[in-house]
Chain A
């Protein structure tokens, strides 16, 4: 099936990964029509099993399957070790940065990061000042978005330190490959992804208040079945074997302890893996109109009676403007060079960077600093004149709200498109779990831009996913 495939000028994840030749041979032996047939069946299977995210339009609820491409993205164990250690370094410095921001603020006093960028950030939480967290861990689950350029160099594109999602697809994609393409796995030793739930549970227990005792009570807090990521919440609760709660199941007592309503009465909760944004966590502390949260939760949290994962206030560190300073933060806290470099970033709040960005708009990618999901991104080389002018107007109106980056020629991976195999751009989101130490799930979520030439891999923008194989 690879006979007509050509990656063009881009770095190809499969053709150039030296140790992937066995997989290339197995793929070559599989006719495209056969691959298409099995992929179609596999997608129907996902739909049957409700591996879906829900899109609501009006009163209709539509269950969509995240488009799945059956040709795996392959990483050698050497490549993976490099990515893994880079992610661990990144997470370590994110945690140190957050602890510092909410305590002594030495990095601001030493002018490594501009103080106003942190203190004036909408995601900076005053309520977190002086709050000590078990093991200084703020980012218990981190999703680090990584890309490769045309030379195959790995870069960090973005840190996701709030409530990163997508890990359920990593596990489900693997299970689907095992069901639909057992022959592709013959003689190929892969690093497993199944232990994610138990690793996460172990890490959450490590950060229970006061050491937590032998069996601290852990729950997953979800906004409920109407949230588009509910499938993942249910998946993770199941994989950890912990209750899947909503705000209305929890209450905070006079003693600042959190309890859940059970058939046998109230039961203590010590660790909450929450998949609700800061704003909605506690109507007494943040948005008073939130019906999803738990009144008094911040009081319990600040009193040290419950651990929230991720911590409140991590959004200040994964902001795209702070991102630009992460290599400096790594040197500052760890005394090390970044293992995974940043993509060069122009912080438009700085006059020189703004001028450069405006002068090179057609070559750059411009992003809003607080955005996510690929919304509001302008890809210069692919934008129309009108889109570029609109982007220029937004930049001039709110320079501090934007950054720009050179447009990387992202690596490609062979992808089944109709009845042909064509190159499509991919990224990689490894998931790092941190309690006392940091463990990284081998591989991660490979997202693929299914539109020809597109560089935007977000599922909200027509992206799909692939199974990510880390060779043993």
Chain B
């Protein structure tokens, strides 16, 4: 009995991790955008955040213009918006509720408190003046969740499916983050390396909390290719694509070996191949072949790996009934 995990529970913990990771990433991106993303005239541009999450059309249907207030409400507190932080936390908590016997009481209680807190945010709490503090609280709430989980979740299958979900989600988020700036790396860009461009790439770095690690590891200062290379190919930075893919591959390996799960061969093979590819390629080669095409390709492989995990471990059921919705 000890090593038996319901297929439905494996799916639940996998998505719990993904939803929290998503909420944290969103808070991170909003925070950095609010703080650093100003053009030379001092104006704030929120359009890239909408593009990053592929929400431009849905947003336009609800709001006339991407003002700070509208974007913040849309992404933090809008319960009708499935890609908002409050929706992600609500989905994480619904999963956690069904997983009560498998997760620690502390994990549940903290999620429950965060969910209740987010549910009652009013306009005053969302005002631009207090925005950075609010986003930091959200980010810290997600990190508290991560810390409690690290310190209290038993390291059986549950924990491995949880971390698998987290790293696949991070891999996805990081590729999106890089992709949003891909146009700056098109061949013969006239303003590559201009002050505004460098500043924007620095914003991307900061969104991934990678600013200081980058400066330590990469010589020659912040350059577009340097940033893209760091976020996609760095093997030791926890939000870099290569790190996340390697970690996901390792976690799946443990599930298949130590926990003797027969399924998931397809996903293991796909992650292994992706990992190998990321280890040998260089950012110059990626850019030469087209950064956007590369990112697209990686995302397709990540989705294929996720789908294989679902059919191998999460039990029967049409894909439509699964939790794969709105992974902006």
Contact = CB atoms under 8 A, between A and B. Distances in A.
A130 B255 CA distance: 46
A261 B260 CA distance: 16
Given A50-B109, A237-B101, A261 B7 contact: yes
A234 B315 contact: no
B109 A48 contact: yes
B7 A244 contact: no
- Looking at chain B's contact residues, the main secondary structure is helix
A333 to B, nearest CB: 36
Contacts of A224: 98
Contact of B5 (A237, A248, A262): A262
Interface string A233-264: 01101100111111011000000000011111
B92 interface: no
B5 A48 contact: no
Contact of B4 (A50, A234, A235, A264): A264
Nearest to B96: A50
A224 B6 CA distance: 14
B4 A262 contact: yes
A215 B3 CA distance: 13
Interface in B1-55: 1, 3-10
Given A48-B112, A48-B113, A261 B101 contact: no
B153 interface: no
B109 to A, nearest CB: 5
Given A48-B109, A49-B108, A234-B100, A242 B1 contact: yes
A262 B10 CA distance: 8
A300 to B, nearest CB: 19
Nearest to A267: B4
B6 A225 contact: no
A27 to B, nearest CB: 29
A262 B6 contact: yes
A230 interface: yes
Contact of B112 (A49, A235, A244, A265): A49
Contact of B108 (A50, A217, A263, A267): A50
Contacts of B5: 262-264
Contacts of B263: 263
B326 to A, nearest CB: 19
Given A243-B4, A263-B7, A238 B100 contact: yes
Contacts of B4: 217, 243, 260, 262, 264, 267
Contacts of B98: 224-225, 234, 244
B157 interface: yes
A218 B101 CA distance: 14
Interface in B247-264: 255, 259-263
Interface residues of B, number: 31
Given A48-B112, A48-B113, A263-B261, A249 B7 contact: yes
B101 A263 contact: no
Contact of A225 (B10, B97, B260): B97
Contact of B100 (A244, A245, A249): A244
A243 B261 contact: no
Interface string A255-292: 00000111111010000000000000000000000000
Nearest to B108: A50
Nearest to A231: B100
A238 B101 contact: yes
Nearest to A220: B101
A225 B94 contact: yes
A215 to B, nearest CB: 6
Contacts of B105: 49
Given A50-B97, A50-B109, A265-B262, A215 B1 contact: yes
B128 interface: no
Contact of B97 (A48, A230, A237): A230
A50 B112 contact: yes
A263 B261 CA distance: 7
Interface centre among B112, B113, B259, by most A CB within 10 Å? B112
Interface string B172-190: 0000000000000000000
A465 B69 CA distance: 45
Nearest to B8: A249
A248 B315 CA distance: 10
A62 to B, nearest CB: 12
A235 B8 contact: no
B17 to A, nearest CB: 15
A258 to B, nearest CB: 14
Contacts of A241: 101
For A49, A50, A218, A242, the residue with the greatest tally of chain B CB atoms inside 10 Å of its CB is: A50
B164 to A, nearest CB: 11
A237 B261 CA distance: 24
B313 interface: yes
Given A244-B101, A261-B316, A249 B112 contact: no
A264 B313 CA distance: 7
Contact of B6 (A47, A230, A231, A245): A245
A217 B2 CA distance: 10
B261 A264 contact: yes
Contacts of A243: 4, 6, 9, 101
Contacts of A237: 100-101
Interface string A21-52: 00000000000000000000000000111100
Interface in B91-134: 94, 97-98, 100-101, 105, 108-109, 112-113, 116
Given A243-B9, A245-B6, A262-B6, A234 B97 contact: yes
Most chain-B Cβ atoms within 10 A of its Cβ — which of A230, A234, A264, A265? A264
| In the A-B complex, the 8 residue pairs with the closest CB atoms | A234-B100, A237-B101, A238-B101, A261-B7, A263-B313, A261-B315, A49-B109, A50-B112
Given A244-B100, A263-B263, 16 more contacts: A47-B116, A48-B113, A48-B116, A49-B105, A49-B109, A217-B4, A224-B98, A225-B97, A238-B100, A238-B101, A241-B101, A243-B6, A243-B101, A249-B315, A261-B316, A264-B261
12 contacts: A48-B109, A225-B94, A225-B98, A237-B100, A244-B100, A246-B8, A249-B7, A260-B6, A262-B4, A263-B161, A263-B255, A264-B260
